[in-house]
Chains A and B, each alone.
Chain A
């Protein structure tokens, strides 16, 4: 079965750290781009971070740059999101997703075709 499974969510205090894992199965993980998207309860989707297939390219939203770090271990079919200096406004459900990316003369296509079930991160004192 093609799937992504997140783990590592939980309740932490402001300023603390947490590491989320996203483990894949059912597809060739080592050729896949993986993104993180978060959703504050009751709100919309917001892109957080991405990593390319071999880990040589990483990108972050302005709101998390310098605090969050994405990495991957293709031998374990797993992507990690290391979250440091967590703030109350980082409270959200965090989804990992496989993204198909293509570029042509017509434009860029970025398609989130497989999503994990999400990991809830709560930052509260």
Chain B
């Protein structure tokens, strides 16, 4: 059972927007930065968002992240077939002194 809670699945039609939530607590998301990772089936995770809302240069601006209080959100706009993947949030937990991952959200493009 993950300490960071994500919905198990999310879906939207091609070209539409999907939003994934990540809920934590004051010891992790509430006090520290959140990162997001994309994992296409059979491949390694890939960094999508770091420091709550920053994107590596190779990540398109269709992907955006935000944080408010003890929750974080990943938005994927203009959904494409290639965006079908599992998405994970992560944050350092100061009480446990380890990084925590969310349980993952499977995104399906309808």
Contacts and interface: CB of A to CB of B under 8 A. Distances in A.
Given A47-B100, A61-B98, A110 B47 contact: no
Interface residues of B, number: 29
A113 B92 contact: no
Main secondary structure on B side of the interface with A: strand
A26 interface: no
Interface string A98-113: 0010000011111111
A29 to B, nearest CB: 18
Interface stretch (B17-25, B27-35, B69-77): B27-35
B95 interface: no
Contacts of A113: 47, 50, 56
A112 B104 contact: no
B90 A110 contact: yes
A75 to B, nearest CB: 26
B94 interface: yes
A107 B43 CA distance: 30
Nearest to A47: B99
A118 to B, nearest CB: 6
Given A45-B101, A59-B98, A113-B56, A108 B2 contact: no
A110 B102 CA distance: 14
